[in-house]
Amino acid sequence: MSSPDVAIIGSGPGGYRAAVLAALRGLKVVIVERKTWGGTCLNRGCVPKKAWYHSACVIADAAGYAERGITGTLGADFPRAWHFQRTVVDTVRDNYVDYLGRLGIRMLNGDARFEGPDTLRVNDQRLQARHIVIATGSRPWLPAPLQRVPQRVLTTDDLFDAPPPPGRRVAVLGSGFVGSEMAFILSRLGLEVTWLTGREALASSTFSAPARTALRAALAEAGIEPRLQSRIAAVEVGDEGVALTLADGERMVVDWVLAGTGRRPCTEGLDLARAGVASGVQGHVRVDEFNRAAPGIYAIGDVANPGMSANHALADAAVAVSDILEPGSRRREDGWVPQVLYSALELARVGLNEDQAEALDLEPAAGFASFDFNPAALAAGERGGFLRLLADLDSGRALGAEIAGRGAAELISLLGLEFGTPQALSRLATAAYNHPARAEEILNAVETLAARWGMAAHVFPPSPAGAGRE
């Protein structure tokens, strides 16, 4: 085989997306995977978690079924839920691999390492390419004194890779996305969850104080409250389970532990120095605004992006491939990549929050709309959600959006199509919306900006007679 135009290391969402985009644009592509095709997101992350989340929401909603005229009871069977997610994963992976093949992308199994700026060694094969994309993802990180112990001390990688351990008593560790999601999901799937955190849920995230407050209220209503300031001082694994000793001396015994304590980039064995590629904070590959790590070499997703989400990996892939085809044509814009939490309350955001906007000397104005009286939300028996839009008071430019409530992950994508353009608010204000739908609250939030903050000239600018929407 002649040298490919692009060689990609890693087949997670970033690597897969880069391979597909490059192949669709006529480039010859090779993709290398050392473990399971699809990477963490498909096999032990976003995809199986979403399967469990849907089941968890069904069980959570069941508490209100009687008043809706639905009788009967629902129960959770965690082992069967595990096998269901595996069926979903296998189906998606089969389609994934088939599509790569139909696009003519060469797939290699094995370990890749650099031998030079344009050369890889994959097992015993030497591979040269005009461009190389590093998309090797990340691995779970556990702070001392935690260590992974099969069937006892697990990460999400372990939980999705093998059938669940015996026992219903589970300690979930971490106040970030993984801890906040899995504490809710596992509790609805029939496990007895003790949630140990150092801080309030999502305290280090860019979600607003109102969003975090609403999340805490939804978790509390579901009977899930984190035990704050719960630093683990010692871990003992024995026949009776896992004994955790906290910093204050309290001792508790659970059947197993799920640690959502962070992740670190996967760069071991790549020999990055041979290609002139440098690493920065916490091992992330250093890249510029076009995801370039060195001439002809790109790094995308968790291995390079501190956002460490599948959404960031997908966006990075588009930036890298655009730069390969037309250098400098598309810059990395992490702020416009959606962030989503799937927990007792679904949260999603994009763009800037108030603090970030003020740090840039902007004057943010907020448009708020509640889902409490939205017909679609009420018909589904949901309350407590909201939508907030931020705009710069002086220029009228849309700065950010935040959504709390069922369907937030879908709605944020709709907003993301418009944000980043000068006409975002006016386009949202003049769009036609389905009724009844949660999306109607987008219009209400924009109209609130126009009325409350005197931004009508930005939201409803005059247009020439007969002008239509392009």
For the segment 148-162, what is each residue's pLDDT rounded down to a tens digit? 999 999 999 999 999
Instruction: Name the pairing type of β-strands 386-392 and 251-254.
Output: unpaired
CB 391 within 8 A of CB 455: yes
Is the pLDDT reported for residue 466 higher than 70?
no
8 Å CB contact between 331 and 315: no
Burial-class residue 274 by CB neighbours within 10 Å (0-12, 13-18, 19+): middle
What are the residues facing 348 on neighbouring strands?
A: 340, 403
Residue identified by tokens 């109607």 is 440
Output the six-digit token pair for 190: 């029939």
Position 131 scores a pLDDT of 98
Amino acid 10 reads: G
Every domain range in the chain assigned CATH 3.30.390.30: 346-459
- What integer pLDDT is reported at residue 455 of this predicted model? 83
Question: pLDDT at position 461, please?
Answer: 76
pTM: 0.94
Main-chain phi, psi angles of 420, to 5 degrees: 95, -5
d(CA 51, CA 36): 19
Q: Which superfamily does CATH assign the domain made up of 153-261 to?
A: FAD/NAD(P)-binding domain (3.50.50.60)
Instruction: Render 281-310 in DSSP notation, one character per residue.
Output: GGGPBP--TT-EEETTEEE-GGGT-TT-SH
CA distances to 211, 282, 456 from 449, rounded to whole Å, are: 19, 40, 8
Rounded-to-integer distance, Cα 36 and Cα 55, Å: 25
Instruction: Find where tokens 């704050």 sit.
Output: 228
Q: Where are the CATH 3.50.50.60 domain residues in the chain?
A: 6-139+264-335, 153-261
pLDDT score of 422? 81
Tell me the catalytic residues.
435
From residue 365, how far is each of 397, 413, 418, 446 by CA, in Å? Answer: 10, 21, 18, 11
Give the whole-angstrom CA distance, residue 32 versus residue 270. 12
- Name residue, tokens 């702020």: 335
Supply angle C-alpha 159, 177, 384, rounded to 5: 120
The pLDDT assigned to 463 comes to: 62
> Tens of pLDDT along 22-60?
999 999 999 999 999 999 999 999 999 999 999 999 999
CB 312 within 8 A of CB 337: yes
Q: Is 457 exposed, middle or buried (0-12, 13-18, 19+ CB in 10 A)?
A: exposed
Residues counted in the chain: 470
Mean pLDDT score of the chain: 94
Residue listed under structure tokens 């801080």: 199
Q: Tell me what percent of the residues of the chain surpass a pLDDT of 90.
A: 87
Q: What gap in Å lies between CA 410 and CA 407, rounded to an integer?
A: 5
Residue 302 has pLDDT above 70, yes or no: yes
Q: DSSP string of 157-176?
A: HHHHHSPPPS-SEEEEE-SS
CA distance 356 to 367: 17
How many whole angstroms separate alpha carbon 403 and alpha carbon 292? 33
What pLDDT digit, counting tens, does each position of 82-141 carry? 999 999 999 999 999 999 999 999 999 999 999 999 999 999 999 999 999 999 999 999
Local structure of 269: helix, strand or coil: coil
- Which residues have a Cβ under 8 Å from the Cβ of 380 and sit 6 or more positions away? 406
Confidence of residue 460 (pLDDT cuts 50, 70, 90): confident
d(CA 55, CA 62): 11
| Residue at 439: amino acid letter | A
Question: What band does 457 get if pLDDT is binned at 50, 70 and 90?
Answer: confident
| pLDDT over 90 (residue 415) | no
Residue 118, pLDDT score:
96
Q: In angstroms, rounded to a whole number, what is the distance separating the alpha carbons of residues 385 and 402?
A: 11
Question: Which architecture characterizes domain 6-139+264-335 according to CATH?
Answer: 3-Layer(bba) Sandwich (3.50)
How far, in Å, CA of 35 to CA of 266, rounded?
13
Q: Tell me, what's the pLDDT at 414? A: 85
Which helix (H) or strand (E) segment holds residue 399: the answer is strand 398-404
The secondary element (H helix, E strand) that includes residue 49 is: helix 46-61
CA distance 273 to 390: 43
Which of these, 410, 426, 406, 407, lies nearest to 418 by C-alpha position? Answer: 426
> Which of 267, 320, 309, 414 has the alpha carbon at shortest distance from 20?
320
- In 3D space, the residue among 53, 61, 64, 20 whose CA is nearest the CA of residue 38 turns out to be 20
Residues 19-28 pLDDT 10s: 999 999 999 9
pLDDT digits (tens, 9 = 90+) for 58-71: 999 998 899 999 99
Give me the architecture of the 346-459 domain, per CATH.
Answer: 2-Layer Sandwich (3.30)
pLDDT at residue 281 in the model: 78
Q: Which of 140-149, 300-309, 452-461 is predicted least confidently?
A: 452-461
Mean pLDDT of 190-217: 96
Say what the pLDDT of residue 465 is: 52
Looking at residue 464, its pLDDT comes to: 54
Give the pLDDT confidence score for residue 470 in this predicted structure: 45
> Mean pLDDT, to the nearest integer, of 192-214?
96
Most confident of 242-256, 421-435, 454-468: 242-256
